A = this chain, B = another copy of it.
Amino acid sequence: MSEHILLTPGPTPLPPSVRAKMAEPILHHRTQEFAQVFQRVLAGMQQVFRTKSQTLMLTTSGTGAMESAVANLLSPGDRALVHSTGAFGNRFVKILKAYGIEPMVIFEEWGEAAQPQRLKALLNASPGFKVVFFQHTDTSTGVLNDIETLSRTVRENSDALVVVDTVSGLAAERFETDSWGVDVALTGSQKGLMNAPGLAFAAVSEKAWTACGTAKLPRFYLDWRTMRDSLPQKETPYTPAVSLVVAQAEALRLILKEGLDNVVNRTRELALYTRTEVTNRLGLRLFAKDPAHILTAAWLPEGADGDALLKNLLTEERISIANGQEKLKGKIIRIAHMGYISKSDVQAGLSALERRLKTLIGAVRSRS
Contact = CB atoms under 8 A, between A and B. Distances in A.
- Interface size class, chain A: 35 or more
User: Which of A12, A23, A30, A239 has the largest number of chain B CB atoms within 10 A?
Assistant: A239
A26 interface: yes
Interface stretch (A56-64, A145-153, A177-185, A259-267): A56-64
A317 to B, nearest CB: 13
A320 B238 CA distance: 18
A339 to B, nearest CB: 11
A62 B19 contact: no
A28 B14 contact: no
Contacts of A242: 11, 190, 196-198
Contacts of A67: 220-221
A368 interface: no
A134 B105 CA distance: 42
A4 interface: yes
A196 B244 CA distance: 9
Contact of A239 (B30, B62, B222): B62
Given A59-B61, A64-B221, A26 B239 contact: no
User: Which of A10, A59, A223 has the largest number of chain B CB atoms within 10 A?
Assistant: A59
Interface string A1-34: 0011010101111100001101111111111100
A40 interface: no
Given A4-B25, A314-B31, A239 B190 contact: yes
A239 B100 contact: no
A77 to B, nearest CB: 14
Interface stretch (A91-99, A297-305, A353-361): A91-99
Nearest to A68: B221
A243 interface: yes
Nearest to A190: B239
Contacts of A11: 26-29, 239, 242
A348 interface: no
A59 B197 contact: yes
A210 interface: no
A25 B10 contact: no
A243 to B, nearest CB: 4
Contacts of A192: none
A241 B98 contact: no
Contact of A6 (B12, B24, B28): B28
B320 A61 contact: no
A61 B196 contact: no
Contact of A26 (B26, B29, B196): B196
A222 B95 CA distance: 11
27 contacts: A8-B28, A10-B239, A11-B26, A11-B29, A20-B23, A22-B22, A29-B197, A31-B314, A31-B320, A32-B314, A32-B315, A59-B61, A60-B64, A61-B239, A61-B241, A63-B221, A67-B220, A94-B220, A98-B219, A98-B220, A188-B239, A190-B239, A190-B242, A197-B242, A198-B240, A198-B242, A217-B218
Q: Which 10 A-B pairs have the closest CB atoms?
A: A198-B241, A23-B23, A196-B243, A63-B238, A98-B220, A22-B22, A99-B218, A19-B23, A61-B239, A197-B239
